[in-house]
Amino acid sequence: MEGSGRLSKRAHKIIESPANQILISAAVAWELAIKIGTGKMRPASLLEDLRVLSEKETFSEAAITMAMAIRAGLLPPHHRDPFDRMLIAQSELLDVPILSADAVLDLYHVKRLW
């Protein structure tokens, strides 16, 4: 969204390719809202930008189900961040790869792309 260059070239290509269906977890919006609400991130328009960009790029929302919440809670404690744990659970249960630079995710049964 920001064009900050923090994405790897591979990640950028994956997101840009019309052949790929991109899912954005509801946990991403939740975490952003918390960070904006506590003043750790600015501007608040990032939330609206996320929604607009998702629609424009035809990204799909990955909603959070009870099964995902249970799976996230029962994951081995390699990663303590609850949002990342939810992304791991969603990746496992939806059987989709996860796009992340976080190598700790490799300790779980997910395919991490970066």
User: What is the per-residue pLDDT across 3-53, written as a single tens digit (0 to 9) for each?
Assistant: 668 899 999 999 999 999 999 999 999 999 999 999 998 888 888 888 898
Q: Rounded to whole angstroms, what are the CA distances from 61 to 21, 23, 112?
A: 11, 5, 19
| Per-domain residue ranges of the chain | 9-113
Using one digit for the tens of pLDDT, what is the confidence trace for 53-108? 899 988 999 999 999 999 999 999 999 999 999 999 999 999 999 999 999 999 99
The CATH superfamily label for domain 9-113 reads: 5'-nuclease (3.40.50.1010)
By CB atoms closer than 10 A (0-12, 13-18, 19+), residue 7 is middle
pTM over 0.85: yes
